[in-house]
């Protein structure tokens, strides 16, 4: 069982917006602004999409945005495109002992 | 340009020790703030963070696997080695090494290797 809870799947039609939640605890997501999001296509390595909760690395589309409220972080993808269909994982810093935790992953289907 | 590549056995027997090597280029583990981490992913399952080593030899481990993991670095060879003892079929996974952007955010892995699939079976 993963430390961070994500919905197993979400779906949306092209052009729509979807949001993926990532629920942790006051020991991880709730205490630090160090939440990253990764996109993973089948058979590929994960790709960093969001870091520090809401920042985008260079080259990542501004259709991807992140936010956090309390113990829950969220990834929003607007203007869905077929190429966005992938698995998405959140990742949080969890203090000096546990250090890093991942979510269970969410499969995004573009209808 | 930063690149990382994992190498090691594709098949190990239960109870054996797994040794994986991450060979990287484009950065140096002797530079302040630099680290290399390991993450694994069982087939069809989620990512799991395993370990991270920094330029100053600071080492961090997943609490659930800490007793079985050892991470080391060879700065002169640009390599990081992960060993995992007492392998079990549940350890079957693709093992990735990755570069965290800096010491300040160990969740921000900006470069990843291609991954190597390790199967544990007798």
Contact A59/B at CB under 8 A: no
Mean of pLDDT over chain B: 97
In chain A, what are the helix, strand and coil shares in percent, each to the nearest 5? 5, 50, 45
- Dihedrals phi, psi of B92, to nearest 5 degrees: -60, 125
Which 3 state secondary structure label does DSSP give B91?
A: helix
> Which tens digit of pLDDT belongs to each residue from B63-116?
999 999 999 999 999 999 999 999 999 999 999 999 999 889 999 999 999 999
What band does A3 get if pLDDT is binned at 50, 70 and 90? confident
How far apart CA A72 and CA A78 sit, in angstroms, is 19
Token pair, residue A42, equals 């089948």
Average pLDDT on A10-19 reads 98
pLDDT at B9: 98
Could you tell me the pLDDT band of residue A2, with boundaries at 50, 70 and 90? low
- Give the model's pLDDT for residue A1: 64
The residues, any chain, with a CB within 8 Å of residue B53's CB and separated by 6 or more, are B29, B35, B36, B37, B59, B60, B71, B72, B73, B80
Contacts A34 to B, Cβ<8 Å: 105-108
| Contact of A46 with A40, CB cutoff 8 Å | yes
Q: Do B52 and A89 touch (CB under 8 A)?
A: no
Q: Which residue of A has its CA nearest to B114?
A: A45
All residues of chain A having their beta carbon less than 8 Å from the beta carbon of residue B109 are 36, 38, 46, 48, 91
Q: Is the pLDDT at B23 greater than 90, yes or no?
A: yes
Whole-angstrom Cα distance, residue B98 to residue A89?
15
Average pLDDT, chain A: 96
Q: Region A67-80: what's the mean pLDDT?
A: 98
Q: List chain A residues with CB under 8 Å of B110.
A: 48, 57
């Amino acid at each position: 069982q993963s430390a961070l809870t994500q919905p197993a799947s979400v779906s949306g039609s092209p052009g729509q917006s979807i949001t993926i939640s990532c629920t942790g605890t006051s020991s991880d997501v709730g205490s630090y602004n160090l939440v990253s999001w990764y996109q993973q296509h089948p058979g590929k390595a994960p790709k960093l999409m969001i870091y520090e909760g809401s920042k985008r690395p260079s080259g990542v589309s501004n259709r991807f945005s992140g936010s956090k409220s309390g113990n829950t972080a969220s990834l929003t993808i607007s203007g869905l495109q077929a190429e966005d269909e992938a698995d998405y994982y959140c990742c949080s810093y969890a203090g000096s002992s546990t250090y890093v935790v991942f979510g269970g992953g969410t499969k995004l289907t573009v209808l | 340009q930063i690149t990382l590549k994992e190498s090691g056995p594709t098949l190990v027997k239960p109870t054996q020790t797994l040794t994986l090597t991450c060979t990287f280029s484009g950065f140096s583990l002797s530079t302040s703030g630099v680290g290399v981490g390991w993450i694994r992913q069982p087939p069809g399952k989620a990512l799991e963070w395993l370990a991270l080593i920094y330029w100053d030899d600071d080492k961090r481990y997943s609490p659930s696997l800490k007793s079985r993991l050892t991470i080391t670095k060879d700065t002169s060879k640009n390599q990081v080695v992960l060993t995992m003892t007492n392998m079990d079929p549940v350890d079957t996974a693709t093992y990735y090494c990755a570069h965290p952007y800096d010491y300040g955010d160990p969740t921000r892995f900006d470069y990843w290797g291609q991954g190597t699939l390790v199967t544990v079976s007798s």
